[in-house]
Amino acid sequence: MISTKPSITLLATLLILLVSSLSIWAQVAHPPEGDNQRSKVCQWMGEVEVCVTYNSPNVTSPSGKSRRGEIWGNLIPYGWNQDRWMENDGEHPTPKPWRGGANENTTLAISHNILIEGKELAAGVYGMFFLPGEREWQLILSKDSNKWGHYFYNEKNDVLRVKLVPEKGEYREWLTYDFTTKKPDSTTLALLWEDLKVPIHISIPNIHKVYIEEIKKDLTSSKMLYWYNWHEAAKYCFYNNVELELGLRWADKAINQDWIGNANFATLKTKADLLHALKRDHEADSIMQFAIKYSGGVFELHNYGRELLEKMKLDEAMKVLKLNATKYPDYWVTQLGLARAYGASGDFKTALKYAYAAKKIIPKKELAMRHLSLKVLIEQLEKKQIPNVYLWSSGCVQEY
């Protein structure tokens, strides 16, 4: 009888053939196609990250011939490319854009919503294509971000198209993407190759909204367990004049929240600052009178007094700086504070007395650091000039 079951030898042969056929497609590590090295460049705008991933061709051909002057309009055609490779119907090719690099798609990845050339783009990863031109380019961003080159490009998957203006650039042998301007809420991404530069302007429509949302996330994590994180959140709102009511709630958390709140000079002052910004001046002034009692050191009252001087609240500043001098009579900073207060009120004789007193008791190390500012202050007072008051935008004193 002839057996209908395959022999062990036959099964083994089939298995070997199957493994062999699969091994044709299995590849070990190897250099990129055409030696076009894979590259990636990223830039942050605060919490917002923008990354471009691409394969970088060079001007010199694999045979060693320079193609300078032949890249644009020749190697990289202007307009749509009529490439027929991988077409289902080679007789009717589908026009394709340039992939912005070599090999796989060039991709643009963004962590938050942004604007590109003024047009909105949602967070995500996009295939990055171009239509080059002599005087005008077009950037195309597509949902297709994981295809091979432009061969499977489909305009139905486009999410954004914007016009770009090419410029003459410094020579680049290798195609490069670089961030040529870097600001808190904007950047310029430039394509650079051969003698051409193509800038792409990227911006964040509302950078403060981004930070506020990130702060909200932080305050639902373990960071919520520390009063100073609530305080920093409240300060962000005040210093940037955004979400003031929210900032006030965060300030209250920093002061009063169960078992983590801390009613100190800094937290109380931030709450008062927010109340002033909300035009609730009476409440703010009341809190500051209370906050002064919680002053933890000579510099807190000194800086607050300087801030009042900068706002031309001379009577309030004098009270605060006198209180500081009463609490710390032998500290040079309090004498300097009184010199500035009396100078601001026009009593130059008394101001000079305190300025010389500060200079007399200041430690040598501090004097070496503050010599110029003290010298300028004394010169101003001797000339009967109102002293300058320099403050950082955050309210911190730049010089004593």
Give the Cα separation of 317 and 311 in Å (integer).
Answer: 9
pLDDT recorded at residue 369 = 85
pLDDT recorded at residue 35 = 64
158 φ/ψ angles, rounded to the nearest 5 degrees: -65, 140
pTM across the whole model: 0.78
Place of tokens 């002061």: 255
Place of tokens 């020749």: 74
Nearest to 131 by CA among 123, 139, 121: 139
pLDDT recorded at residue 398 = 45
pLDDT recorded at residue 85 = 55
* pLDDT tens for the chain, residues 1 to 400: 445 555 555 555 555 555 555 444 556 666 666 567 889 999 999 999 999 999 999 999 988 999 999 999 999 999 998 765 555 555 566 789 999 999 889 999 999 999 999 999 999 999 999 999 999 999 999 998 887 767 788 899 999 999 999 999 999 999 999 999 999 999 999 999 999 999 999 999 999 999 999 999 999 999 999 999 999 999 999 999 999 999 999 999 999 999 899 999 999 999 999 999 999 999 999 999 999 987 778 999 999 999 999 999 999 999 999 999 999 999 999 999 999 999 999 999 999 999 999 999 999 888 888 878 888 899 999 999 998 765 433 334 445 5
pLDDT recorded at residue 261 = 94
pLDDT recorded at residue 391 = 40
Single-letter code of the amino acid located at 255: I
pLDDT recorded at residue 34 = 58
Single-letter code of the amino acid located at 399: E
Give the Cα separation of 390 and 400 in Å (integer).
Answer: 9
pLDDT recorded at residue 394 = 36
pLDDT recorded at residue 42 = 98
